[in-house]
Chain A
Amino acid sequence: MIKARITVTLKNGVLDPQGKAIEHALSGMGFDGVGQVRQGKVFDVELVESDKAKAEADLKAMCDKLLANTVIENYSVAIT
């Protein structure tokens, strides 16, 4: 079995109101020196597949077709 972690983040230049709100909250809590905060998503996926190359190709297809909206988001796949 292969385990993978997919990270989805907003592309540069895409406004992230949630990240901004978190950024302001952190400053308000007294965490000085917080720069920009961007919020993203993490998916931990288990695959029955044992072939790493095939798994990676499948995971990328999953990102392109569902897990990420590539209009606004980037993704990275890490097999753990």
Chain B
Amino acid sequence: MKSAVVLLPGLNRDRDMIAALTKISGTPPVTVWQTDTEIPDVDLIAIPGGFSFGDYLRCGAIAARMPVMRAVAEKAAKGVMVIGVCNGFQILVEAGLLPGALMRNTSLKFVCRQVKLQIANANTMFTRRYQPGQIIRSPVAHHDGNYFADAETLRRLEGEGQVVFRYAEGTNPNGSINDIAGIINGQGNVLGLMPHPENLIEAAHGGSDGRALFESALGIAA
């Protein structure tokens, strides 16, 4: 399985994502820059976390309008898997590849800690190596992770199993509606989540709860 990582000015988790994909798949991902209009043939495109364009205007808003995101949208329409983590999730939402919006945390504080996540849907390309309802640990680090969608969108997300990760009871760090931490598109190939599974993939991280996500997506046996 081949992967690509999208690079944009202001991202700062790109090295973590590249390290995780390299360690888990055995092959370094190709990198694509914001001005690239074509993405090589890959099975998975990852948009890492950080503060693209300084979070100016709205988190992810400017990155979402860069040429590379048109290329990501074209690949996504063809069924290529896309994962956006943290700022990557905000970019996917701003690009219209995922519904809803990510707003300022209700606490108004930047949260940087470990939370518990419940696997709300284990029947996706990204979560099939987890058990339904399984609780995993994951770091979060964000200021704008408060997921919001209008009532109709929310009904659709909940009804169609598009909520993939939920903050486990009592650990919602940002006020997200329905404790939503990550969602998938209707086609089932574009995933966005605020937590950082790429930062919990080996013993040196203090755990490997995030590893199964990449093993699921990359089709690697546990």
Which residues of A are at the interface with B, using a C-beta cutoff of 8 A?
Answer: 14-15, 17-18, 21, 65-67, 69, 71-72
- Tell me whether A14 and B108 are in contact in the complex, defined as CB-CB below 8 angstroms, given that A71-B100, A72-B101 are known contacts: no
Closest chain-B Cβ to A56's Cβ sits at a distance in Å of 21
Interface of A is mostly: helix
A-B contact pairs, 28 of them (CB 8 A): A14-B103, A14-B148, A15-B103, A15-B106, A15-B146, A15-B175, A17-B103, A17-B104, A17-B105, A17-B106, A17-B107, A17-B108, A17-B175, A18-B104, A65-B65, A66-B61, A66-B62, A66-B65, A67-B57, A69-B61, A69-B94, A69-B101, A71-B99, A71-B100, A71-B148, A71-B150, A72-B101, A72-B103
Query: What separation, in Å, do the CA atoms of A18 and B108 have in the docked complex?
Result: 7
Interface of B is mostly: loop
Query: What separation, in Å, do the CA atoms of A67 and B108 have in the docked complex?
Result: 22
Nearest 5 CB-CB pairs, A to B?
A71-B101, A72-B101, A17-B106, A17-B104, A17-B108
Closest chain-B Cβ to A6's Cβ sits at a distance in Å of 12
Query: What separation, in Å, do the CA atoms of A67 and B58 have in the docked complex?
Result: 9
Closest chain-B Cβ to A36's Cβ sits at a distance in Å of 16
Tell me if B220 counts as interface (CB < 8 A to partner A): no
Q: Which residues of B contact A21 (CB under 8 A)?
A: 108
Query: What separation, in Å, do the CA atoms of A17 and B146 have in the docked complex?
Result: 10
Q: Which residues of B contact A66 (CB under 8 A)?
A: 57, 61-62, 65
B148 touches A15 (CB 8 A): yes
Query: What separation, in Å, do the CA atoms of A66 and B103 have in the docked complex?
Result: 16
Tell me if B149 counts as interface (CB < 8 A to partner A): yes
Q: Interface centre among A15, A18, A21, A69, by most B CB within 10 Å? A: A69
Q: Which residues of B contact A67 (CB under 8 A)?
A: 57
Query: What separation, in Å, do the CA atoms of A65 and B150 have in the docked complex?
Result: 19
Query: What separation, in Å, do the CA atoms of A67 and B61 have in the docked complex?
Result: 9
Query: What separation, in Å, do the CA atoms of A71 and B64 have in the docked complex?
Result: 15
- Tell me whether A72 and B65 are in contact in the complex, defined as CB-CB below 8 angstroms, given that A15-B103, A17-B104 are known contacts: no
Q: Interface code B48-64, partner A: CB below 8 Å = 1, 0 otherwise?
A: 00000000011001100
Q: Interface code B82-121, partner A: CB below 8 Å = 1, 0 otherwise?
A: 0000000000001000011101111110000000000000
Closest chain-A Cβ to B55's Cβ sits at a distance in Å of 13
Q: Which residues of B contact A65 (CB under 8 A)?
A: 65
Closest chain-B Cβ to A15's Cβ sits at a distance in Å of 7
B108 touches A69 (CB 8 A): no
Query: What separation, in Å, do the CA atoms of A21 and B104 have in the docked complex?
Result: 12
Query: What separation, in Å, do the CA atoms of A66 and B58 have in the docked complex?
Result: 9
Q: Which residues of A contact B61 (CB under 8 A)?
A: 66, 69
